[in-house]
Structure 1
């Protein structure tokens, strides 16, 4: 049940916000224009272990006393007398969300640069969290993260694919044969990218990292690989209608990687593997979004649904990265 008292004036208004097509997010407002954010699982039949908003709330609560910028959790309920699915209420963080091209187009190049450079620095904070002190040491398995990811997302692909895609199957085999040794274990966000953060209007610093449903314990370089996978550069056809990173001012992938490596002192040797795996995972996730939208149209976000062509483009780019890495 809800753990913190929240004063409310009059009836509440709920409006769907964000472009997320997994867990659903709503802006909640009362008659006094106070604001909160409510999260719930998507509609329709769900895959096992997916869309766990209660687990997500546990992670956010654990991070509240750390340097990681996250919204404060106000309450959680899974009481069948209140709701048919778990609900999580959190504070509303007022800031800039660069999740649409018109928003990115309006930003000054200097602010774009500051926002981009803040992403790897925020990842460094996430990966520096003392798991034992915040009570997250039991969050997930401590066995090989790469192998766990390959196993989990291969299963998700089999359950959610809308057609056969031999190129993805061959990419899975390439990645499985090239798994690097895991040298350390940290908190991993699992889906860290530009659309999943709130930044300051003034200086571009990340003031809230969002969407922690894929967070786990694993190799920190995996998160940096995800950032690179979501960061197309000019001339790359990634099949997406969101290519903010190609605009003047945003740093290139090499600069983002160098900021992270300088901040953390980590070895860059395995980064191309994680970049390719990040593209592979995004392709699997996009296919799952497609299937949920086909099965239940109410799950469609305003930004639309990933196309089959986009999934294929992600897989092709991952093969390109794998070729460059000699996998």
Structure 2
């Protein structure tokens, strides 16, 4: 799992340790307390700990952060449903162990999953350190094949019909994020006309949705664990997952993948900013062969995701400027630049389509 931030401890933020360990004893037979609780970083601020029992057997527990949350944020039930649905089909997720919706135990829902070996890749140094150059093609193929395998699973057949609406995924996303852009303009004091032009372009040129798949929503190298052979050992962090257009998920994944050797637009700190990786077009073709989905309009989905990223960053930037979040330690100019860079990426993708 992710790197430790706190060594062995019997204090765990958000958890009543005796109550949780009693619940685990009564409701699972995977391992036995008392546990060593070790904080794990990452995971969209969810409170995530590795548990290790006296025999050395390990698992991971997750609950939402403390404090008041938005209604659909940090949905433990959603994450658990996905892990429990995928595991029996051989898809690489941690083993589902137990889910608790009794808020009296520790004040929030939580779930426990098996501890998956491997490392996530957050930045270029991670890839350079963990993935030797001769294994980087293996990494890329395993990464894209795993996404393809997720997209060809029928949500109805694996019990995920109620995960979300199936129809018009991109149309609904465009309208929602455009509303966010418009609502953020006054505080952001930034209203690039391309945000409006591209919204119209994406709505007017929207391809027909190929099918309704489970879409991860944040499928990238930092949300996968890679074993020492550079293959995906587990996919993590399902809280943004829903049903929708699989090609939108593909566009999100590949938008930050090198399009050419020495790609001048690739962020130098990105985990893909290393030599030896197959290029975007090769991975898209491999995905197409594995799924049967057409990828000729990949740049539409890449462009849409760049535009959506701009809208997300715009909203964050506006909240900072409005004083809703502390700007201490925040690179506000870098955040503003990120909005414009994302719009630049959308512009390049649209240009390739025309």
TM class by smaller structure: 0.7 to 0.9
Instruction: Check conservation: 1:289, 1:305, Cα contact below 8 A.
Output: no
Residue 101 in 1 paired to residue 124 in 2?
yes
Match of 2:221 among 194, 200, 208: 194
2:350 maps to what in 1?
Answer: 322
The answer to whether the 8 A contact 1:199-1:205 is kept is: yes
Query: Contact between 1:16 and 1:24, CA under 8 Å: does it hold in 2?
Result: no
Quick one: structure 1 residues 152 and 45, their matched pair in 2 at CA, closer, same or farther if it must change by over 3 Å? farther
Equivalent residues in 2 for 1:115-134, closer than 5 Å: 115-134=139-158
Q: Which residue in the other structure is 1:71 paired with?
A: 94
**Number of the residue aligned with 1:136:** 160
Change (3 A) 1:288 1:82: farther
Query: Secondary structure of 2:106's match?
Result: coil
How far 1:159 moved relative to its partner? 6.5
* Pairwise CA distance, 1:8: 4.0
Cα deviation, 1:278-312, whole Å, max 9, x if unaligned, reads 22233344456667887566xx99xx997222232
For the 8 Å contact 2:288–2:294, the answer to whether it is kept is yes
Correspondences of 1:1-327 after superposition (within 5 Å): 4-10=28-34, 12-18=36-42, 20=43, 22-30=44-52, 32=54, 33-42=56-65, 46-106=69-129, 107-157=131-181, 163=188, 164-166=190-192, 167-202=194-229, 204-233=230-259, 234-237=262-265, 240=267, 242-287=269-314, 295=324, 307-326=335-354
Q: Which has the higher contact order (CA 8 A, sep 6+)?
A: 1
Structure 1 residue 115 displacement after superposition = 0.6
Larger radius of gyration: 2
Root-mean-square deviation over aligned CA pairs: 3.3
User: Alpha carbons of 1:30 and 1:66: their partners in 2 closer, same or farther (altered >3 Å)?
Assistant: closer
- Deviation of 1:256 after TM superposition, in Å, equals 1.0
Uncovered stretches (5+) of structure 1, i.e. residues with no partner = none
Q: Greater shift after overlay, 304-313 or 191-200?
A: 304-313
Paired residue secondary structure (1:99): coil
Change (3 A) 1:128 1:77: same
The Cα shift of 1:254 comes to 1.0
| Cα gap change, 1:5 to 1:170, in 2 (>3 Å) | farther
CA shift, 1:4, in A, is: 2.8
1:36 and 1:290 mapped to 2: Cα distance? 37
C-alpha distance in 1 between matches for 2:352 and 2:111: 43
1:117 and 1:35 map into 2 onto residues whose CA distance is: 29
**Secondary structure of the corresponding residue to residue 161 of structure 2:** coil
- Aligned pair count? 321
Confirm or deny: 8 A CA contact 2:85 2:160 kept in the other structure.
Answer: yes
1:77 & 1:209 partners in 2: Cα distance? 22
